[in-house]
């Protein structure tokens, strides 16, 4: 069958209009219309990380998404901590009633000593209080020590929904499956629990305001079979996933991105993999964004921090490691590279730089 140019043009216009309508229906509040600002463990440069206080602060500063790392309790609940060893971010070590819980165990190939979420019930964990992980670097945040409990992921979802209603804009969540093989070996597999939780909360769709991330490969492949929510393969400048022989740097080549696209909808690289440091300063963008976009993948780099110690030498201001440097230069370079979002410990600064 042949078609005239006019018919082809009309058909293309109709398809574009239909796509626009579907996009508007799926994203009525503009959740994906600009590079997303992802509050890394909340506004973790200003409040103790991974607390409801930190998530509220990130939202108040304009974050589009808040990021909780997920760990498991003994009774199968998903709680929000960066590590399953919690002595660095809570006062558990000072609690005499839990002194006997201190232990050493192997967590995905690493020997770790301390107190672990999987050795506590949720009720027990709710009795400890959170504190700043880097008090010398972030003394302003440390002033809020002892004020917050460890939240569950459900509590973070509830906060995002209530703040979305209050502010009239969509607040997403960005849960990370942490140590999935470790918990699976303990009889606490994470993928099914997370999929069920997303379904319960109306978040089981490709356009839902949620992204599920993991540094390992197999959990994302499993999760794809259980949920339609977006999935992000995290990658690092060094190392290899614990369940793969393919180094992360090989995963971000053009062919590697096409492989990721078979089970994930995006990639989350260390920001230096997008904007490398060259001669002590910000260098030209790599091909990572181009390779990802060619494979149909979104790109959400992690984690931009404002303190001098985390910036390239030429972006540092003064000699105090905790003082803020020229972090705007990093934000602007990432936006110019075409990223679809970025993680920041200071989401308000990222929002301002986005303009």
CATH number for 207: 3.20.20.190
27 pLDDT tier (thresholds 50, 70, 90): low
DSSP secondary structure letters along 223-241: HHHH--S-EEEEE-SS---
Is residue 124 assigned to a domain? no
Domain count, the chain: 1
List, in order, residues 6 or more apart from 163 with CB less than 8 Å away: 56, 59, 171
Is residue 41 assigned to a domain? yes
What is the arithmetic mean of pLDDT over 35-50?
98
What is the arithmetic mean of pLDDT over 80-86?
98
Is residue 197 assigned to a domain? yes
What distances in angstroms separate CA 228 from CA 198, 210, 216, 220, 263, one per listed residue? 10, 11, 18, 11, 11
DSSP secondary structure letters along 54-119: HHHHHHHTT-SEEE-EEEE-TTS-EEE-SSSB-TTTBSGGG-GGGGGG-EEEEETTEEEEE-BGGG
Looking at residue 119, its pLDDT comes to: 98
Looking at residue 2, its pLDDT comes to: 36
40 is catalytic: yes
Averaged pLDDT score across all residues of the chain: 92
Q: DSSP class of residue 97?
A: G
Q: DSSP class of residue 85?
A: B
Of the listed ranges 72-76, 105-109, 145-149, the one predicted with least confidence: 105-109
* Catalytic residue (one of 82, 182, 300, 324): 82
Structural tokens at position 137: 């670097």
Q: Which domain holds residue 319?
A: 29-84+137-354
Is residue 130 assigned to a domain? no
Is residue 62 assigned to a domain? yes
pTM over 0.85: yes
* Catalytic residue (one of 34, 40, 182, 293): 40
Q: Do residues 88 and 41 lie in contact, with contact meaning Cβ atoms separated by under 8 Å?
A: no
Is residue 114 assigned to a domain? no
Give the largest CA-CA distance in the chain: 81
Is residue 101 assigned to a domain? no
Is residue 291 assigned to a domain? yes
14 pLDDT tier (thresholds 50, 70, 90): very low
179 is catalytic: no
Structural tokens at position 86: 């919690």
For the chain, give the percent of residues with pLDDT over 90: 89
Looking at residue 109, its pLDDT comes to: 86
Instruction: Identify the residue whose tokens are 């672990």.
Output: 116
């Amino acid at each position: 069958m042949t078609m005239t140019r006019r018919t082809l043009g009309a058909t293309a216009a109709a398809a574009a209009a239909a796509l626009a309508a579907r996009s508007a229906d799926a994203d009525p509040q503009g959740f994906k219309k600009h590079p997303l600002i992802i509050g890394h463990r909340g506004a973790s440069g200003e409040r103790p990380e991974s607390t409801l206080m930190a998530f509220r602060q990130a939202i108040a500063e304009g974050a589009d998404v808040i990021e909780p790392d997920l760990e498991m309790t003994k009774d199968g609940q998903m709680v929000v901590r960066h590590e399953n060893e919690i002595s660095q971010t809570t006062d558990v070590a000072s609690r005499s009633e839990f002194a006997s819980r201190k232990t050493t165990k192997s967590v995905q190939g690493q020997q770790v000593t301390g107190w672990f979420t999987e050795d506590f019930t949720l009720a027990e964990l709710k009795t400890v209080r959170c504190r700043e992980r880097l008090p010398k670097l972030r003394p302003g945040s440390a002033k809020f020590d002892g004020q917050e409990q460890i939240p569950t992921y459900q509590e973070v979802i509830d906060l995002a929904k209530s703040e979305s209603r209050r502010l009239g804009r969509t607040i997403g969540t960005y849960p990370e499956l942490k140590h999935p093989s470790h918990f699976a070996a303990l009889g606490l597999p994470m993928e099914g629990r997370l999929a069920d939780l997303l379904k319960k909360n109306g978040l089981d769709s490709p356009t839902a305001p949620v992204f599920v991330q993991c540094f390992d490969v197999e959990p994302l492949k499993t999760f794809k079979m259980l949920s339609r929510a977006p999935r992000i393969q995290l990658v690092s400048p060094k190392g290899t996933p614990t369940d793969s022989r393919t180094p992360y740097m090989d995963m971000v080549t053009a062919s590697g991105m096409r492989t990721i696209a078979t089970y994930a909808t995006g990639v989350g690289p260390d920001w230096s993999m997008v904007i490398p440091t060259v001669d002590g300063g910000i260098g030209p963008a790599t091909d990572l964004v181009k390779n990802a976009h060619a494979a149909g993948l979104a790109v959400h780099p992690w984690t931009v921090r404002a303190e001098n110690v985390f910036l390239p030498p030429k972006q540092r201001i003064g000699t105090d490691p905790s003082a803020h440097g020229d972090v705007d230069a990093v934000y602007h370079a990432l936006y110019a590279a075409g990223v679809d979002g970025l993680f920041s410990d200071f989401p308000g600064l990222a929002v301002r730089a986005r303009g």
